Amino acid sequence: MHKIPSSLLSVTTMLIHILAIPVFFLGFILIYESRWMFEFLETASKTITFNTLMLTSILIGIMLISRLSMNAIGKQFRLSWWQYTIWCFGELFVWACFAALYMALIYGHFGYFPALAKCLQLVFAILSYPYIIFALLFAYVRPDEEEVAEEDLVRFMDSTGRLKLVIAHDVILFIEAQENYVTIHYLEGSKLKEYSLRQSMRGIEELMDKHGIIRCQRSYFVNPRHVTVLRRDKEGFIQAELDVANSQQVPVSPKYYEQLSKML
C-alpha cells in the first residue's frame, strides 16, 4: 500500500491536527446541541460546557502526545496508509478511554464501561469527520510534489549510530569535513541548507559510494549530478562549479580529477 505523503508529518500539519480536531469537537457539541450528547455530558454537579471543555482538554493532550510520537517515528520510516489509519483509530480509542474515566468519576453512579460506550459513540458521531477530511485533503488535494523512492533516500547517522538526517540523494550538493564533523550541503526546495553531523569522512564513505556521491578531495565529497564544469583557478587549483546559484565551488584534487571528469 502507498505511503502517506510527507506533508502529513510536517510540523505545521501536526499543529493543525492537534488544535483543529479538538476545536471541531468542542464546536460541534456546543453548536449542534444533540439531545443524547447533552443528556450524557450534563450532570447534576457540572454543566455541559464545563464537561465539554474538560473532554476537549483531554483530547488535546492525547493528540499532542500521539502526533509528536508519530513525527518522531516518521523520521525513521514513512507510515503506510493502513498504518496511519490504525494509528488514528488508536488515538480515538485512547481518548475514549480517558474521557470515560473522567465521566465515570463525575457521575459517580455511572459505571466506567457504560461511559466508555457513550464516549465511543461521541468518537464516531463527531471526530470521524475531521479525520476523514484531513486524510482526503493531504492525499488528494495536497499530495507530495514528488514522492522519493526508499532506495533514493540517504540516511545519515552520527558516530554513535543515531539517525540524524534523511534526505534524497539528488538534493545533496557536496559534503565537507570540519574537524570531528562533516557538513552536508543540500537543497530544500530552492534554498541552500547545511547540516553538521558528528561523523568522519571515512564513516560515511560507503554510504556515499552507494548513492553515487564521490570523493573529490581529501576533505570533500561532491554529487556529480550537480557539477556543471571543472575549472582551474589562477593558482592552478581545480574547482568544481555547481548548477546551483550562490553555491560555493568545490575543490577537486588531481587524484580524483579524472574519475569526476568522466562522470560529467
Phi and psi at residue 249, to the nearest 5°:
-75, 150
> pLDDT over 70 for what percent of the chain?
89
Residue 158 has pLDDT above 50, yes or no: yes
Q: 220 and 178 in contact (C-beta within 8 Å)? A: no
Q: What is the average pLDDT across 192-210?
A: 93
Rounded to whole angstroms, the Cα distance separating 261 from 255 reads 11
Q: What is the average pLDDT across 88-103?
A: 92
Instruction: Select the more confidently predicted residue: 113 or 13.
Output: 113
How many secondary structure helices (H) and strands (E) does the chain include? 8, 10
Q: 140 and 158 in contact (C-beta within 8 Å)? A: no
Residue 219 has pLDDT above 90, yes or no: yes
- What was the pLDDT predicted at 38? 76
- Averaged pLDDT score across all residues of the chain: 85
pLDDT band at 201 (very low <50, low <70, confident <90, very high): very high
- What was the pLDDT predicted at 147? 52
pLDDT band at 145 (very low <50, low <70, confident <90, very high): very low
- What was the pLDDT predicted at 211? 92
Close Cβ partners of 247 (under 8 Å, ≥ 6 residues apart): 173, 185, 192
Q: Which fold has domain 150-262?
A: OB fold (Dihydrolipoamide Acetyltransferase, E2P) (2.40.50)
Q: What is the average pLDDT across 227-233?
A: 89
- What was the pLDDT predicted at 220? 95
Instruction: Tell me the whole-structure pTM to 2 decimals.
Output: 0.54
Rounded to whole angstroms, the Cα distance separating 64 from 212 reads 40
> pLDDT over 90 for what percent of the chain?
40
Residue 108 has pLDDT above 70, yes or no: no
Q: What is the average pLDDT across 33-59?
A: 78
Rounded to whole angstroms, the Cα distance separating 139 from 232 reads 49
Query: What are the domain boundaries of the chain?
Result: 6-141, 150-262
